[in-house]
Amino acid sequence: MSKKSEDVRAVTTTRIWGITVGILAVCIPLSAVTRSGAVLPLAAIGGATVGTIAIWRSDDKKSKAGYLQPQQVELLEQRIANLETIVSHEEFDLKMKIKQLEARDRNNHPAP
């Protein structure tokens, strides 16, 4: 796994928990006023925990699925080579047709 993806996960986790601390700062006095007990602070902590787990697991899935097997890479390289051959052949045909049209045009309209 690259350092960049680890940095993104760490930065995101830090941001989640920083916001959670702010939410807790509001929730604790609010739970005393509303007499909801520990429900609001526990919900904030639970949400941050679920978010953190999701971030760390989703990145693992993406990094594993992001790589192609050597056979797939070889097949893609062959397809690209075939496309390049087709495009080059069609470009050559088009150039020949243009030259033929130019020659025909010169023969039909002599210069003054």
In three-state secondary structure terms, 37 is coil
The C-alpha angle 30, 36, 37, rounded to 5 degrees, equals 90
CB-side neighbour CA atoms (13 Å) of 112 = 0
Give residue-wise pLDDT tens across range 46-90: 999 999 999 888 866 555 555 678 888 888 888 888 877 877 777
The whole-angstrom separation of Cα 43 and Cα 58 is 22
pLDDT range class, residue 111, cuts 50, 70, 90: low
Residue 19: predicted pLDDT? 92
Residue 62: predicted pLDDT? 59
Tokens of 65: 């699925």
Residue 16 reports pLDDT greater than 90: yes
CB of 48 closer than 8 Å to CB of 20: yes
Residue 60: predicted pLDDT? 61
